[in-house]
Amino acid sequence: MKKVSLIIPCYNEEQSLPLLYEAICATAAEHDAYEWEFLFVNDGSKDSTLEIIKNLRADDKRVSFVDLSRNFGKERAMLAGFDYAQGDCAVVMDADLQHPPKVIGEMLAKWEEGYDDIYGKRITRGKESWLRKSLSLTFYKLLGKISNIDLLPNVGDFRLLDRRCIDALKQLRESERYTKGLYCWIGYKKTFVEFEQGERAAGESKWNFFKLLSLAMEGVVSFSTAPLKIATFAGFICAMASIIYSVYFLIKSLVVTDPVAGFPTLIITILFIGGLQLICLGIIGEYVGRIFNESKRRPVYFAREHEAGEV
């Protein structure tokens, strides 16, 4: 019997877990030709999430869990999920029921057709603000243009991965992770199923604007060196312009001697070049910071406790 692992990263999800458990049990019952594993990754929750998971496990041996030593963030929690998943394939899904378990059936059908990576494509984005929607669309367009990989808009982490993909992802152990990009990077045979993203079942989204912005930055910097090229290019243009400008001033000051006028030009130029230099330094800094972090070669996460299989 083929085994399917559901990888569910959880951070303070005590309210949604009972609802989620009910829904995934229904899905598992519907597809009883497979053996199921419900792998919860407790990402350092501060509420009773872990107790709830342990209670579920006491009654149901399909439930297994990894308890991380602290909150590492969803991206790293997913890697822990890949590491501990035992299935022939795994479905990554959120704990808040925004990823409807019903769709898993369609994913499994595609998997049986021979696809390795079946991603869920949102056709509605739930109750998200107009600003967030358009910002994220623009971001994907931009990132697609400047990086060498094809990133898809409206595609999140809800997907079914064949064992091949899981084993590939397990080898990508960078600690600054942008998993959405990694799925594209590893390749393999991909297809999609569409799903309607509902509202959060309970609790609140853990993402705020700044977290999203930093994830977006991660996406750009970890998949492309285009910002560095843009910085070089901008520097080059400025240097050229300043050569032309200085020739112009040299001639002007030789012909007409006018020492005081020109102060505005001077201050604007200084500020402009200064600003540009700071931006370029910042961009370089983003990359250097990542080199620094990766060069420490720290493990991506620590697990406190892990239980799987027979109770």
Under the criterion CB under 6 A, does residue 17 sit at the interface with ligand UDP? Answer: no
Q: Which of residues 83-142 bind ligand UDP (CB under 6 A)?
A: 94-96, 98
Q: Work out which of 62, 74, 110, 159 binds ligand UDP, going by CB under 6 A.
A: 74
- Tally: H helices and E strands in the chain: 10, 8
Segment interacting with ligand UDP (CB under 6 A) among 72-80, 169-177, 231-239, 265-273: 72-80
Under the criterion CB under 6 A, does residue 175 sit at the interface with ligand UDP? Answer: no
Q: Closest separation between CB of residue 206 and ligand UDP, Å?
A: 4
Under the criterion CB under 6 A, does residue 277 sit at the interface with ligand UDP? Answer: no
Under the criterion CB under 6 A, does residue 201 sit at the interface with ligand UDP? Answer: no
Under the criterion CB under 5 A, does residue 16 sit at the interface with Mg ion? Answer: no
Contacts of 250 (CB under 8 A, 6+ apart): none
Q: Which residues pair with 193 in a beta bridge?
A: 120
Contacts of 52 (CB under 8 A, 6+ apart): 14, 17, 18
Under the criterion CB under 6 A, does residue 14 sit at the interface with ligand UDP? Answer: no
Contact 90, 160 (CB under 8 A): yes
Under the criterion CB under 6 A, does residue 292 sit at the interface with ligand UDP? Answer: no
Q: Is the dihedral of CA 141, 116, 13, 67 positive or negative?
A: negative
Contact 177, 300 (CB under 8 A): yes
- Inter-axis angle of helices 209-223 and 179-186, nearest 10: 30
Under the criterion CB under 5 A, does residue 13 sit at the interface with Mg ion? Answer: no
Contact positions toward ligand UDP, by CB under 6 A? Answer: 9-11, 13, 43, 71, 73-74, 77, 94-96, 98, 205-207
